[in-house]
């Protein structure tokens, strides 16, 4: 049976949903311990999700880049005897995973959507056009796992914490984080994790109002094409696609997006695609399950109104 080390970064001491998913996934593979960077209070919650031991990082690690974080995790791997390391799939987690792979001579597989007990990791590549199965062929395997790989469930254990101290020299030539500010919460789900995405493009012509209204009624995240973010109509965080956020929601509603190839690539792993565009020749209609040739400024508000009417 595997020994799993889940790497969790929690500046505020609470676990995010995808971190609870990591622990739940890890429990399905074997014994789980946690390498925690951030507030030690998260250890209590980690034990609720089955972590018998939580290794806590020296405070200095929080303000350093991936290489220093990897030095801490490598020490936790050594103490726990872990042969599987699970991380989130964000930018910082991938940086840590990359450095850790070199430090431990371990294979790293990113963007994992499911992981079998024998270490076979499923992911999609080439903008969703292939589903592949990859595997690390090393003694320790490192995986970064996308949200929704499993449904989180509790399995409380009597957890203990173990502080790991490292000499300054262990951090190597890591970058220093000189300032960090959480972006203001929008109240909407994260684009990368959202079950529903409503996205706008060139056709919104600067006004994301109807897109946001429908998104809020559906509990959806708001996405955007590169044209919309380049024009400053909405923040770059909302950009969907190759250079933005890769999404694979249950439902993707595309409004005023023509669907040039990179945009199509960004949405094609959605289960259901709805497209609204005034141009009946827009390429997006080639992949839409339901397409409306029409003006988003009349169609979206009417849809929002209909949803409100049905909900009474």
Residues 6+ positions from 127 with CB-CB distance below 8 Å: 242, 262, 265, 266, 268
Which residues ranging from 114 to 153 are in contact with other proteins (CB under 8 A)? 120, 124-138
**DSSP alpha helix (H) spans, 242-295:** 261-267
Should residue 70 be labelled a site residue for other proteins when binding is judged by CB under 8 A?
yes
Q: Report the alpha-carbon distance of residue 301 to residue 305 in Å, rounded.
A: 6
For other proteins, give the closer residue by CB, 80 or 229.
229
Task: Name residues contacting other proteins, limited to 271-310 (CB under 8 A).
Answer: 272-274, 276, 280, 285-295, 298-307, 310
Sign of CA dihedral 96, 99, 104, 108: positive
Provide the token pair at 236: 């770059």
Residue list 174-193, contact with other proteins (CB under 8 A): 174-183, 190
Q: Residues 82 to 121: which contact other proteins by CB under 8 A?
A: 90-95, 97-99, 101-103, 105-111, 120
> What is the full DSSP assignment across 78-101?
HHHT-SEEEE-SSHHHHHHHHHHH
Name the minimum Å distance from CB 124 to other proteins. Answer: 7
Q: With respect to other proteins, which residue has the nearer C-beta, 168 or 179?
A: 179
Q: How far is the CB of 129 from other proteins (least distance, A)?
A: 6
Q: How far is the CB of 229 from other proteins (least distance, A)?
A: 9
Tell whether residue 236 is a contact of other proteins (CB under 8 A). yes
Secondary element (H or E) of residue 112? strand 107-112
In sequence order, which residues have a C-beta less than 8 Å from that of residue 165 and are 6 or more positions away?
58
State in angstroms the smallest separation of the CB of 42 from other proteins: 16
CB of 156 to other proteins, least distance (A): 28
Give the 3-state secondary structure of residue 31. strand
* Binding track over 2-41 against other proteins, x by CB under 8 A: ----------------------------------------
Q: How big is the site for other proteins, counted in residues (CB under 8 A)?
A: 92
* 137-172 b/e (C-beta count within 10 Å ≥ 16 → b): eeebbbbbbbbbbbebeeeebebebeebebeeebbe
CA 114 to CA 215: how far, in whole Å?
Answer: 28
Shortest separation between residue 41's beta carbon and other proteins, angstroms: 20
Asked if 65 touches other proteins (CB under 8 A), the answer is yes
Among 38, 50, 58, 66, binds other proteins (CB under 8 A): 66
CB-wise, 47 or 234, nearer to other proteins? 234
Binding residues for other proteins restricted to 204-233, rule: CB under 8 A? 218
Q: How far apart are CA 304 and CA 215, in angstroms?
A: 9
Q: What is the CA radius of gyration of the chain?
A: 21
In sequence order, the 6+-apart residues with CB closer than 8 A to the CB of 120 are 133, 134, 135
> Which residues ranging from 248 to 277 are in contact with other proteins (CB under 8 A)?
250-251, 261-262, 265, 268-269, 272-274, 276
């Amino acid at each position: 049976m595997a020994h799993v080390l889940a790497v969790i970064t929690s500046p505020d001491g609470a676990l995010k949903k995808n971190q609870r998913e990591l622990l739940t996934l890890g429990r399905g593979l074997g014994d789980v311990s946690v390498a925690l960077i951030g507030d030690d209070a998260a250890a209590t919650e980690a034990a609720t999700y089955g972590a018998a031991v939580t290794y806590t990082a020296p405070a200095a690690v929080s303000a350093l880049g991936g290489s220093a974080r990897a030095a801490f995790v490598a020490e936790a791997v050594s103490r726990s005897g872990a042969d599987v390391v699970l991380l989130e799939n964000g930018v910082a987690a991938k940086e840590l995973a990359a450095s850790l792979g070199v430090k431990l001579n371990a294979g790293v597989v990113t963007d994992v959507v499911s992981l079998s007990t024998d270490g076979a990791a499923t992911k999609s590549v080439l903008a969703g056009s292939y589903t592949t199965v990859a595997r690390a062929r090393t003694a320790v395997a490192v995986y970064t796992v996308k949200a929704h790989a499993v449904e989180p469930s509790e399995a409380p254990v009597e957890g203990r914490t173990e502080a790991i101290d490292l000499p300054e020299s262990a951090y190597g030539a890591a970058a220093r984080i000189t300032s960090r500010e959480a972006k203001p919460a929008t109240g909407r789900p994260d684009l990368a994790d959202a079950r529903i995405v409503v996205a706008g493009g060139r056709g919104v012509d600067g006004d994301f109002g109807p897109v946001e209204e429908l998104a809020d009624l559906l509990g959806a995240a708001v996405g955007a094409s590169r044209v919309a973010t380049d024009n400053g109509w909405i923040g770059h965080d909302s950009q969907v696609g190759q250079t933005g956020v890769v999404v694979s929601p249950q439902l993707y509603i595309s409004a005023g997006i023509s669907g040039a190839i990179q945009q199509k690539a960004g949405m094609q792993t959605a289960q259901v695609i709805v497209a609204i565009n005034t141009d009946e020749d827009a390429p997006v209609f080639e992949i839409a399950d339901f397409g409306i040739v029409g003006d988003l400024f009349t169609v979206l508000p009417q849809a929002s109104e209909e949803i409100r009417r049905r909900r009474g």
